[in-house]
Amino acid sequence: MTFVADADFLPLEKLYEIQSRHWSAQRKRLAGSAFYRQHHPAAPMKLPTRLSDLDELPLTDKTLLRLDQAAHPPFGSYLNHPHESIVRLHRTSGTSGQAMNLALSSTDTALQAHVAGRSQSAAGLGPGDTVVHCLNYQLWMGGLTDHLGLEATGALVVPFGSGATQLLVRTILDVGINAISCTPSYPARLEQVLAEHFPRLSPVDLGLRKGFMGGEPGLDDPAFRQRLQEVWGMQAMNANYGVSDILCNFAGQCTHQNDLHFLALDVILPELVDPENGNPLPWESGQEGELVLTNLYKDCQPLLRFRTGDLVRLTATDVCSCGRTAPRFRVIGRTDEMVVVRGVNAFPSSVAAAINQCAELNGEYRVRLPHPAPYDRLPLEAELEPGVVPSDALTRTLSHTLGEALRLTVDLTLLPGGALPRTEGKTRRLIKEYAQ
């Protein structure tokens, strides 16, 4: 195994050396890839010797991978590894198209577990902790990989999966479990089960003091974290950011601050690009852009300049007070959810934050786009809190408040509570009313 144990703490110069070394080897392996030699629209690709020239290569996106897997089933022409050396297959849910098949060699599985362990360690898990893992294990990467990442920290891990919540409560109490790995919405479900079946127990009695979460928005809301602290006595940590096509979990917050540390600089090269035109953007603190990733060390399905579709803000590149050199970032939205208003990017996440600051609004909103860009104002519909009477004056005041927060002009329509259609309890945030 040639990946290093403590890459998240290494000086950046040392990491650049490791990256270059890995790229030399990866470049040779990729030279044999049918995808980059033959099937990628930009094939045959001439791979640069120096890593700093990588941004001369074209970008690869999910649509290309889907088409390639459909044409070269089951793993695509970008597999680039002997079929008999694949030891694990994961499948994505296929919610936004066909299910994707993800292949891993034994080296890949070891790397995944190791890097996922960096995330969970940064978030405060380690020897002496007993953690129950409550994600579904079926097919997708998250369940099993996060289990192995939890183990990699040295903690004692109890594989539980999803469902059977009464059994979970008894197990937590019998075994003396002090930590849980779950989705951010799961504690609310546990509270229901406690109220129904264990009326003498309050959440804090379960003794879960550490929560390792990810995979759903909401965790970045300070009110959500504060509530878990008050109701459960639990510190909720975002320990779980990854891109399954690249590596399942390679970023998490540390116990010193709330931004995500990019913990895989030794094996993944990150870049920022302009989501509109794909042009490279500087990798410096404060820069926003689409996260683009290259596998520098991976046997199966190695990707070059893969567009994640995630818009991020790089928040710091200096050494964190936790000692990690790993740069820090925040996910601020998805490229397919971005609306550009007079050159200002508006994302559902930032709109939600602005709406939540207005006491007259109940938090439900929708951006309805009647035509393709450009827009000179953001068309926004928002629901009022019960008892708040709509008026032109209120619309003007709230438009101004929201516009200030978002740094753009808002075209606001106020609606009574419950007016926006819900799907599975949620409002669809962005509606495009035109053919794309």
Q: How far is the CB of 319 from Zn ion (least distance, A)?
A: 9
Quick one: which of 339, 387, 388 has its CA closest to 366?
339
The distance of Cα 145 from the centroid of its chain, to the nearest Å, equals 15
Q: How far is the CB of 341 from Zn ion (least distance, A)?
A: 34
Applying CB under 5 A, does 99 fall inside the site for Zn ion? no
Written as one letter, the residue type at 341 is V
Q: 229-266 burial, b for 16+ CB within 10 Å, e for fewer?
A: eeebebbbbbbbbbbbbbbbbbbbbbeeeebbbbbbbb
Helix (H/G/I), strand (E/B), else coil: 51: helix
Q: How far is the CB of 117 from Zn ion (least distance, A)?
A: 16
Restricting to residues 32-91, name those near Zn ion by CB under 5 A: none
**CB nearer to Zn ion: pick between 203 and 214:** 214
**CB nearer to Zn ion: pick between 260 and 384:** 260
Largest CA distance in the chain: 69
Q: Which of 30, 86, 254, 303 binds Zn ion (CB under 5 A)?
A: 254
Options 62-70, 77-85, 317-325, 413-421: segment touching Zn ion (CB under 5 A): 317-325
**CB nearer to Zn ion: pick between 254 and 303:** 254
**CB nearer to Zn ion: pick between 234 and 320:** 320
Q: Under rule CB under 5 A, how many of the chain's residues touch Zn ion?
A: 5
User: What distance in Å separates the CA atoms of residue 173 and residue 80, rounded to the nearest whole number?
Assistant: 47
Applying CB under 5 A, does 256 fall inside the site for Zn ion? yes
| DSSP3 helix / strand / coil % (the chain, rounded to 5) | 30, 25, 40
Applying CB under 5 A, does 322 fall inside the site for Zn ion? yes
**CB nearer to Zn ion: pick between 212 and 365:** 212
User: What distance in Å separates the CA atoms of residue 234 and residue 129, rounded to the nearest whole number?
Assistant: 14
**CB nearer to Zn ion: pick between 255 and 357:** 255
**CB nearer to Zn ion: pick between 254 and 380:** 254
Residues 104 and 90 sit within 8 Å (Cβ to Cβ): yes
Q: What's the Cα-to-Cα distance from 93 to each of 71, 97, 142, 263, 435, rounded to whole Å?
A: 19, 9, 12, 26, 26
Residues 314 and 89 sit within 8 Å (Cβ to Cβ): no
Q: How far is the CB of 346 from Zn ion (least distance, A)?
A: 30
Options 282-290, 323-331, 340-348, 370-378: segment touching Zn ion (CB under 5 A): 323-331
Q: How far is the CB of 123 from Zn ion (least distance, A)?
A: 10
| Residues at the site binding Zn ion, with contacts judged by CB under 5 A | 254, 256, 320, 322, 324
